[in-house]
Amino acid sequence: MSVQKVGVAGCGLMGSGIAEVAARAGKDVVVREVSKEAVEAGRGRIEASLTRALKREKISSEERDEVLERISFTQDLADLADRDLVIEAIIEELEAKNELFGTLDELCGPETIFASNTSSLTITEMAAAVNRPDRVVGLHFFNPVPVMKLVEVVRTIATSEEAFDRTFAFARSLGKEPIAAKDNSGFVVNLLLVPYMLDAIRQLERGVASMRDMDTAMVLGCGYPMGPFTLCDFVGNDTTLRIAEIMFEEYREERYAPPPLLKRLVAMGRYGRKSGKGFYDYSGDEPTPLPV
Ligand code: 3HC
């Protein structure tokens, strides 16, 4: 039985992208946010992204309207009760995720699969907290969700073959390229990407080269779409700090330890693009490097 009814809990940067790609693939989507304001902000994000796709002539205005019609918004978790699959993309805190899945465990039918879009927490810790550990998986998307082709589909030692296969097929039905990953903190991409980003910050602290030159180096020298500091600002320095803290807690390896400069930027509210300032200042036409 293929997944048709999708629930998305949390409609921030990732949740809104996940809801959009699911609706664009013809799924019936219910998005849940905690407040009226959060619902409106989430809806605005999806509309803005669809408008962008429309301007780039990737979709017609009829398709845009149809996609929006397939997404309904709610503040009530009970509206996710009939979903085949619920994907959570809420705050990166295990307690919050477990509380959410705990409530959904009571509300949803036994067949509903629970998926987490966590970047660095382990799926096992979420599976262990519900009565359906065999139906809990990781489904990790990448930012910007409508563009990035990869989805990591994560199984724990308790995930059933059937739940894994259904989730894998669901990811493929979104037009994504799924890969199978074991449940370790960071899965595949963040396991490799996060130490790279943190190392770039450490080399900046050591004064190896300027921020802009290090960004240019990785774009022109390696063909990366963005240099490490542009990428940090794109992902969000607060997000990278949180991921690094979780991964360091898990592995106790220096490569995951958050560098002091990252902590200082976050303390100053320099989260990156979303706050207008990070390693760069985004208030002008072109990003300009800020003092670090
Ligand atoms: N939403 C929707 N579409 C977007 C978008 C967005 N936010 N940003 C860009 N796009 C689309 C554009 O519409 C365009 O589509 P088209 O070429 O088919 O018309 C395409 O992406 C390219 O956009 P642009 O020409 O405007 O810009 P770039 O060529 O500079 O590409 C980029 C932008 C796709 C973001 C590219 O720079 C990139 O791939 N950067 C790296 C992103 C990355 O590494 N993401 C992973 C982060 S890690 C993560 O998410 C894991 C988490 O756990 C931390």
Task: Work out how many domains the chain is built from and give that number.
Answer: 2
β-pair partners for 31: 8, 73
Task: Tell me if 226 CB under 6 Å of ligand 1.
Answer: yes
The segments of the chain whose pLDDT lies below 50 read none
Q: Are residues 234 and 104 in the same domain?
A: no
| 168, 194: one domain | no
Q: In angstroms, what is the span from residue 234 Cα to ligand 1's centroid?
A: 10
Asked which of 144, 163, 182 is the last residue of a domain, the reply is 182
Tell me if 79 is assigned to some domain. yes
C-alpha 61 – ligand 1 centre gap (Å) = 22
Asked, for residue 289, whether it belongs to a domain, the answer is: no
Residues 167 and 207 in one domain: no
Antiparallel, parallel or unpaired: β 177-182 and 280-281: unpaired
Q: Is 152 a catalytic residue?
A: yes
Instruction: Tell me: do 100 and 172 sit in the same domain.
Output: yes
CA atoms within a 13 Å half-sphere pointing along the CA-CB vector of 54: 15
Judge whether 113 lies within some domain. Answer: yes
Residues 265 and 166 in one domain: no
Examine residue 65 and state whether it is found in any structural domain, yes or no: yes
Nearest-CA residue for atom 30 of ligand 1: 225
The CATH code of the domain that includes 170 is: 3.40.50.720
Are 170 and 204 in the same domain?
no
Number of neighbours of residue 88 by Cβ within 10 angstroms: 25
Residue 90 main-chain phi, psi, to 5 deg: -95, -170
Pairing relationship of beta strands 280-281 and 71-74 according to DSSP bridges: unpaired
> Is 177 in the active site?
no
Which candidate in 119, 120, 185, 237 is catalytic?
119
Residues 153 and 61 in one domain: yes
Q: Are residues 112 and 239 in the same domain?
A: no
Ligand 1 binding pocket includes 145 (Cβ within 6 Å): no
Q: Residue 160 sits in which domain range?
A: 5-182
Domain termination residue (choose one: 151, 182, 213): 182
Question: What CATH number is attached to the domain comprising 217?
Answer: 1.10.1040.10
State the distance from the centre of ligand 1 to the C-alpha of 122, rounded, in angstroms: 26
Token output for 199: 């190392």
Are residues 46 and 174 located together in one domain of the fold?
yes
DSSP helix/strand/coil, 55 = helix
Q: For residue 211, tell me if it sits in a domain.
A: yes
Are residues 255 and 238 located together in one domain of the fold? yes
Domain final position from 182, 198, 218? 182
Q: Do the beta carbons of residue 262 and residue 292 sit within 8 Å?
A: no
Catalytic residue among 20, 33, 92, 152: 152
Q: Are residues 77 and 109 in the same domain?
A: yes
Q: What is the DSSP letter of 76?
A: -
Judge if 151 and 51 occupy the same domain. yes
Q: Is 103 exposed, middle or buried (0-12, 13-18, 19+ CB in 10 A)?
A: middle
Cβ 173 vs Cβ 141: under 8 Å? no
Would you call 190 a catalytic residue per the annotation?
A: yes
Q: How far is the CA of 106 from the centre of ligand 1 (A)?
A: 38
| 47 located within any domain | yes
Determine, yes or no, domain membership for 287: no
Question: How far is Cα 194 from Cα 256, in angstroms, rounded to an integer?
Answer: 7
Q: Is 52 in the pocket of ligand 1 (CB under 6 A)?
A: yes
pTM for the whole structure: 0.96
- Residue 187 backbone phi and psi in degrees, to 5: 50, -120
**pLDDT the model gives residue 1:** 81
114 located within any domain: yes
What per-residue confidence (pLDDT) applies to 49?
97
